[in-house]
Structure 1
Amino acid sequence: MNAVPNQALPAQPLSVWVLDEGRRGHLNQSLGLLDALARHVEVRSEVVPARYVVPGWLRTVVRTAVIRSRDIPDGLIRRCYRDLRLPSGRPDIVISSGGRSVPLALWLRQRFACRQVYLGEVRPYPTRLFDVLLTPVAQPGAAHVVPTELLVTRVTPHDFDLARNATRATFGVGENECTAAILIGGASRSHVFRDSDWRELANGINATRAQYGWRWLLTTSPRTGPGVEALLQASIDPGALSNAVWWGEQPHSVVRQYLAAADVVYVTSDSLTMVSEAVASGKPTVAVRPHKIRHSAYVEDALGAAADNRRILPVTCDGLPASAGSLETLRPLTQAPGDRYAGALLDLLPSG
């Protein structure tokens, strides 16, 4: 199939296809950008399931072929994505996040002469492959890159303007009672949590209750694990908690409710998604890390930029009590950053 030159965007409505390669965090980034686009222009959207079935040992081969090819074969895409079914019509814009979506996104651009927009970690692909790249990591000299505040999310500060008091009442929190939320992840490739880290975290929750009268809204996650949950339950004073969700016992998501109710949000920085949602909520955000960190350029660059912009306050697990006196140094968001991203995206894509 011969590649077709990209066409200018048509008059509204825009047809936008969002690729879902199966990871919730990646899909939420794409949907966050779609939400913002829809606040600027009229869109017709489709979510396209893209189940990537290439085994690990072959992925480098496929990636190399995609990078070098000017004409990605239809057969390669059909073999890489099981049961691929495309919507009717043609897209004007294809949005995706996650490396598994890249071969399909580039092939769709080739087939339909549409514009391709990618969010997040671009490596190991070169930035030149994408029409527009949205990323929190600086890309010097790349005019088609839109810098983002951490990851793009569906959360905005305005989501919680009217929900605060009602949500606090749900958790038994007084109107003037200082309430902190803590969103707990767990071990990752970059974050090495030890039992001593979790004990320090628990001690910090107890200390802020004793010193400042704070009450906490706590949730663990699928990454936390039953052993860590048991340690935290044994170490945290129940009187310090207004509400707790232990994922291993009764899994259900309360992140949005906690973001609405909290005055300040603490989040373990193993999950860029959780940190990004906390920052996007407009609440002062403290990113909590273990003492041992393995090098990860993307995670370090993203969190470092957020700290430099005073969107997050980074602390180790023993730093909760001291952090309470530094919250005023933060600059929480007051406007939805997605609106800025959507505007920059439309400026980069020529209109018809």
Structure 2
Amino acid sequence: MTETQKAPKVVWVISDGVPGHYNQSKGVLFALSQHYQLDVHWIELKLSKPFLRRPLAWLLNKSIPSLSKLSHFYQGDALAAQRPDVVIGAGGNSAYAIAWISRAYQAKNIFCGSLRHLKAELFDAILVLEPDMPAPFISLKVSPVALDQTVLQQQAEQWRKEHPDVEHKLWSMLIGGDGAGAEYTDEDWINLAKQMNLVARQQGIKWLLSTSRRTGAAAEKLLQQYLNFEYIADVVWWSEVPRTVLHQFIAVSDRVYCGADSMSMMMESLTAMRPLVVYHPAKFQPDEKFSQVLHRLSSERYINVRYLTQLSHSDAEDLTLKALEYSPSLQLAQYFEDRLFS
């Protein structure tokens, strides 16, 4: 189906401004765009007070109030003038607004996150990483990401054009920082740099390295001090000169290494259909939900979870590491078509 043949859909995205939730909404839009011509309206709404969650859940579970009362609970942008066909969003605090607005307009809705005491019947599609959930839940292996093989090919061509002389086999190293139960020490950063040197020498590869907002200048200085730059093909030091080249790096890499502190970088790597090694520092205590995701993906051989001092220890687990066999974005697009619009 060509762009001109796609049926139009007006989509309202309810956003709480959280980067991870924003990226999931972008992933949902990307999947919807496979079958529909989208007219997208981003509406930022923030719950006025945390204690409003329980009263809102009680209210919405009973009936859908007039939208004139929305301002009693949320602050932010005015609603768009054009009626929505679909209302989407991510994050628990947005769930109430998504259910409320969509039902008031008799529009379909798509939500990523936990329901926070809301009835599942208020939603048409709830995207979760837990397996084998009944409708309206849609069980996914990876969170929605605005990425597919066509985008990756374009990103790879761009990077190759800018680096025509690089002929080495390339692996990506994506570095986060404290978060999701991970706490990095100076020793962790030093060990990570030393392990990168060992892996590059053992495997005959060069690294595409990118730090992130959470890494910090101090950690970057330690990495710079201990890395052998002979093994680096391209690098982004986020605190010095930030560049958004994550998709370029993944696109030209045969394998990706990613910190366990960043669910979003993990999901992008898996969506790119690349084998993924997930490393963590000495102190790593993820919550139960995150632990379950890591265990499931590890048991299915889509990721290898390792303490960062063991990255250079090649073993049988690496030989059986595999990539996803399908495009998550195309699969999600078909789920929406079958369950919401057929």
TM-score normalised by length of structure 2: 0.88
- Superposition RMSD on alpha carbons, in Å? 2.5
Provide structure 1 residue ranges, at least 5 long, that are not aligned to the other structure. 1-10
Q: Does 1:32 align with 2:27?
A: yes
1:299-342 residue CA offsets vs partner (Å, 9 max, x unmatched)? 12222222223221211111211257643312213532122122
Equivalent position amino acid for 1:98 in 2 = G
Residue in structure 1 matched with residue 125 of structure 2 by the alignment: 132
CA distance in 2, matches of 1:161, 1:307: 27
In structure 2, do the counterparts of structure 1 residues 47 and 316 end up closer, same or farther at CA, with 3 Å as the change threshold?
farther
Equivalent position amino acid for 1:146 in 2 = I
Q: Does 1:54 align with 2:48?
A: yes
Q: Does 1:170 align with 2:165?
A: no
CA distance in 1, matches of 2:316, 2:166: 22
Residue in structure 1 matched with residue 173 of structure 2 by the alignment: 182
CA distance in 1, matches of 2:199, 2:160: 19
Equivalent position amino acid for 2:278 in 1 = A
CA distance in 2, matches of 1:210, 1:350: 52
1:198-228 residue CA offsets vs partner (Å, 9 max, x unmatched)? 2221111010122222211111111111221
Provide structure 2 residue ranges, at least 5 long, that are not aligned to the other structure. 1-5
Residue in structure 2 matched with residue 154 of structure 1 by the alignment: 146
The 8 Å contact of residues 16 and 46 in structure 2, kept in 1 or not, is answered as yes
Moved more, 239-248 or 295-304: 295-304
CA distance in 2, matches of 1:45, 1:207: 50
Shift in Å at residue 181 of structure 1? 0.9
Equivalent position amino acid for 2:101 in 1 = L
Residue in structure 2 matched with residue 268 of structure 1 by the alignment: 259
In structure 2, do the counterparts of structure 1 residues 19 and 278 end up closer, same or farther at CA, with 3 Å as the change threshold?
same
In structure 2, do the counterparts of structure 1 residues 315 and 172 end up closer, same or farther at CA, with 3 Å as the change threshold?
farther
In structure 2, do the counterparts of structure 1 residues 125 and 213 end up closer, same or farther at CA, with 3 Å as the change threshold?
farther
Shift in Å at residue 123 of structure 1? 5.2
Q: Does 1:102 align with 2:95?
A: yes
Shift in Å at residue 188 of structure 1? 0.8
Equivalent position amino acid for 1:46 in 2 = V
The 8 Å contact of residues 156 and 335 in structure 1, kept in 2 or not, is answered as no
Shift in Å at residue 98 of structure 1? 1.2
The 8 Å contact of residues 136 and 305 in structure 1, kept in 2 or not, is answered as no
Aligned mate of 1:232, from 223, 232, 239:
223
Residue in structure 2 matched with residue 194 of structure 1 by the alignment: 185
CA distance in 1, matches of 2:287, 2:122: 23
In structure 2, do the counterparts of structure 1 residues 329 and 123 end up closer, same or farther at CA, with 3 Å as the change threshold?
farther
The 8 Å contact of residues 172 and 242 in structure 1, kept in 2 or not, is answered as no
CA distance in 2, matches of 1:226, 1:27: 25
Equivalent position amino acid for 1:217 in 2 = L
CA distance in 2, matches of 1:33, 1:68: 25
CA distance in 1, matches of 2:93, 2:41: 15
The 8 Å contact of residues 48 and 75 in structure 2, kept in 1 or not, is answered as no
TM-score normalised by length of structure 1: 0.86
CA distance in 2, matches of 1:198, 1:172: 31
Residue in structure 1 matched with residue 79 of structure 2 by the alignment: 86
Shift in Å at residue 296 of structure 1? 1.0
CA distance in 2, matches of 1:241, 1:35: 32
Residue in structure 2 matched with residue 4 of structure 1 by the alignment: none
The 8 Å contact of residues 150 and 303 in structure 1, kept in 2 or not, is answered as no
- Fraction of identical pairs, as percent: 27
1:10-66 residue CA offsets vs partner (Å, 9 max, x unmatched)? x943332222221232122222222222212x333323222305234x344455445
After superposition, residues 198-209 of structure 1 pair within 5 angstroms as 198-209=189-200
In structure 2, do the counterparts of structure 1 residues 17 and 60 end up closer, same or farther at CA, with 3 Å as the change threshold?
closer
Residue in structure 1 matched with residue 3 of structure 2 by the alignment: none
In structure 2, do the counterparts of structure 1 residues 50 and 332 end up closer, same or farther at CA, with 3 Å as the change threshold?
same
CA distance in 1, matches of 2:210, 2:300: 27
1:109-156 residue CA offsets vs partner (Å, 9 max, x unmatched)? 22111222112444565544422111112364x222211122110111
The 8 Å contact of residues 53 and 93 in structure 2, kept in 1 or not, is answered as no
| Matched positions, count | 337
Residue in structure 2 matched with residue 7 of structure 1 by the alignment: none
Equivalent position amino acid for 1:290 in 2 = P
CA distance in 1, matches of 2:120, 2:111: 10
CA distance in 1, matches of 2:285, 2:52: 24
In structure 2, do the counterparts of structure 1 residues 76 and 166 end up closer, same or farther at CA, with 3 Å as the change threshold?
closer
In structure 2, do the counterparts of structure 1 residues 72 and 347 end up closer, same or farther at CA, with 3 Å as the change threshold?
same
